[in-house]
């Protein structure tokens, strides 16, 4: 059930996989993280701590699906840490159980495809940050908690810039609940741990004349904006992430005959009712949920980025606090109140399981996505067929599939795959602009973000 065949393993996933395997092989802390999408040539996110975390299973295994399973282990650990954090914050048991139930169901729904993705790590990182933040509140003299918080905060921002929202929320909780916990020694420990995790990046940049810093300037949007669609999706995030709703418009598609749409309508309107109730009743955690919902539009406004769900992954635990409060309030009341809450939870869980079962055979959540079915198994089959053919694979400039198959051939099947591009014989390679002497211009052909064909 974890590895859905209708998922995908395409360029980004192959790139992240390759970099993680390189970390496992070299046992070196990488200087750079994921590339900034939408920019050519692509600058790299400062700091590659994400690849250190993703590399753990590749110390022994090479199959990318083992890496996906490892991410699931981290996500499960994140759910446990989230519950422990709520317990440390002395959240009432009904609200704690309700919020955790909705959180677990929401991440199960969000992970309904086979990918090797950086945003999924936030389902571990943010609960870890929240757990460490509550540790600072309860044990303000424990210096190692501050060091761990600083290192985890560095992992968060190195995974994606949006991780900063989760960090700010956790620090706000500490500041509002126990401001004395943010004493000078603790703040210094956080700052030193954070900086230490960025040391490889600054050292490598300085040694090469800061080429990535120059590229990063081109990645800054020229103007900030916030579309109407992004604003709506931010404000209804407590509904979207504790239901099967993929986009707000689904809540009004009453004419649809698609059972998946009706699963979204029923769970979505039930989540809306729970969210409204969570805002009305006494719930000490709703403040944090409200702060996150208000912070999301500010993030997209300041960064100038379009709305994508993986930018919101870092704050999903906080988003669940609003409907979790409403559901927890109902669970703590008489039977006539508990039944609607349990009914909503049962419908959400059963329809979620049904959707996952359906996804095993055909894509029902995103039936028109161009990458449907491009999973690891299919990519390996195609790569093996190319190798069995015994001749260079016909390709072209900008052929993302070439890098995917080249990486799988080398790392999983132990063979080199060559390509014929514009009548020349080439190999697909990751190439980082500005950090090494480039091959002669006539020997390279553009491929994708930070990759080229190196040709004879």
Note down pLDDT in tens along the chain; length 456 residues: 345 666 789 999 999 999 999 999 999 999 999 988 777 778 899 999 999 999 999 999 999 999 988 998 999 999 999 999 999 999 999 999 999 999 999 887 654 556 788 888 999 999 999 999 999 999 998 999 999 999 999 999 999 999 999 999 999 999 999 999 999 999 999 999 999 999 999 999 999 889 899 888 887 776 667 888 899 999 999 999 999 998 899 999 999 999 999 999 999 999 999 999 999 988 878 889 999 999 999 998 888 888 888 889 999 999 999 999 999 999 998 888 999 999 999 999 999 989 888 887 888 888 887 888 888 989 999 999 999 998 999 999 999 899 999 999 999 999 999 999 988 999 999 988 767 666 676 688 888 888 999 998
The answer to whether residue 138 sits within a structural domain is yes
The pTM of the full predicted model, rounded to 2 decimals, is 0.93
Residues 62 and 204 in one domain: yes
Which pLDDT value is given to residue 1? 38
Using the 3D structure, point to which of 359, 389, 423 is the last residue of a domain: 359
The answer to whether residue 368 sits within a structural domain is no
Residues 154 and 207 in one domain: yes
Domains of the chain: total: 3
The answer to whether residue 267 sits within a structural domain is yes
The answer to whether residue 5 sits within a structural domain is no
Residues 54 and 153 in one domain: yes
Contact assessment for residue 200 and residue 29, using Cβ atoms and an 8 Å cutoff: yes
Residues 49 and 160 in one domain: yes
Which pLDDT value is given to residue 436? 64
Per-residue CA distances from 270 to 199, 262, 276, 326 (Å)? 48, 12, 10, 11
Between helix 163-177 and helix 143-159 the angle, nearest 10°, is: 150
Torsional class of 304: left (φ above 0), alpha (ψ -120 to 50), beta (otherwise): left
The answer to whether residue 114 sits within a structural domain is yes
Q: Which residues pair with 446 in a beta bridge?
A: 452
Using the 3D structure, point to which of 217, 240, 270 is the last residue of a domain: 217
The answer to whether residue 222 sits within a structural domain is no
Residues 384 and 351 in one domain: no
Residues 351 and 248 in one domain: yes
Nearest-5° angle of CA 200, CA 206, CA 210? Answer: 110
Residues 210 and 172 in one domain: yes
Residues 354 and 383 in one domain: no
Residues 325 and 383 in one domain: no
Residues 203 and 237 in one domain: no
Domain residues for 95?
11-217
Residues 234 and 350 in one domain: yes
Residues 387 and 355 in one domain: no
The answer to whether residue 370 sits within a structural domain is no
The answer to whether residue 371 sits within a structural domain is no
Using the 3D structure, point to which of 217, 252, 270 is the last residue of a domain: 217
Rounded Cα distance between 18 and 27, Å, is 14
């Amino acid at each position: 059930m974890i590895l859905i065949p209708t998922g995908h393993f395409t360029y980004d996933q192959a790139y992240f996989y390759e970099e993680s395997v390189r970390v496992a092989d070299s046992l070196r802390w990488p200087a750079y993280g994921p590339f900034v999408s939408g920019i050519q040539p692509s600058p790299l996110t400062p700091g590659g701590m994400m690849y250190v975390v993703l590399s753990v299973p590749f110390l022994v295994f090479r199959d990318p699906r083992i890496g996906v399973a490892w991410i699931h282990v981290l996500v499960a650990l994140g759910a446990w840490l989230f519950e422990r954090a709520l317990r440390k914050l002395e959240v009432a048991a009904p609200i704690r159980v309700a919020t955790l139930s909705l959180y677990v169901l929401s991440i199960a729904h969000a992970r309904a495809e086979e990918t090797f993705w950086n945003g999924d790590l936030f389902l571990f990182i943010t609960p870890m940050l929240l757990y460490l933040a509550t540790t600072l509140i309860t044990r303000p003299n424990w210096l190692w908690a501050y060091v761990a918080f600083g290192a985890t905060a560095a992992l968060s921002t190195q995974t994606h810039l949006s991780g900063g929202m989760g960090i700010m929320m956790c620090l706000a909780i500490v500041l509002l609940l126990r401001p004395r916990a943010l004493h000078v020694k603790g703040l210094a420990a956080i700052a030193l741990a954070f900086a230490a995790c960025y040391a490889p990046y600054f050292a490598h940049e300085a040694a090469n004349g800061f080429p990535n810093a120059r590229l990063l300037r081109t990645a800054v949007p020229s103007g900030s904006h916030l579309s109407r669609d992004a604003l709506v999706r931010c404000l209804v995030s407590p509904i979207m992430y504790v239901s099967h709703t993929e986009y707000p418009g689904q809540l009004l598609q009453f004419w649809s005959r698609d059972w998946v749409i009706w699963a979204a309508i029923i769970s979505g309107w039930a989540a809306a009712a729970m969210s409204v109730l969570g805002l009305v009743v006494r719930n000490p955690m709703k403040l944090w949920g409200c702060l996150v919902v208000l912070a999301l539009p500010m993030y997209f406004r300041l960064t100038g980025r379009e709305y994508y769900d993986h930018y919101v992954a870092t704050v999903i635990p906080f988003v669940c606090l609003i409907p979790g409060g409403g559901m927890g309030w109902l669970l703590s009341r008489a039977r006539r109140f508990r039944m609607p809450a349990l009914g909503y939870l049962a419908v959400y869980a059963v329809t979620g399981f049904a959707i996952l079962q359906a996804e095993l055979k055909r894509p029902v959540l995103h039936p028109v996505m161009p990458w449907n079915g491009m999973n690891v198994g299919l990519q390996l089959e195609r790569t093996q067929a190319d190798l069995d053919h015994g001749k260079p694979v016909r390709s072209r400039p900008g052929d993302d599939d070439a890098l995917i198959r080249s990486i799988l051939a080398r790392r999983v099947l132990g063979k080199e795959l060559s390509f014929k591009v514009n009548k020349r014989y080439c190999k697909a390679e990751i190439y980082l602009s500005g950090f090494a002497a480039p091959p002669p211009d006539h020997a390279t052909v553009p491929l994708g973000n930070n990759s080229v064909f190196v040709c004879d």
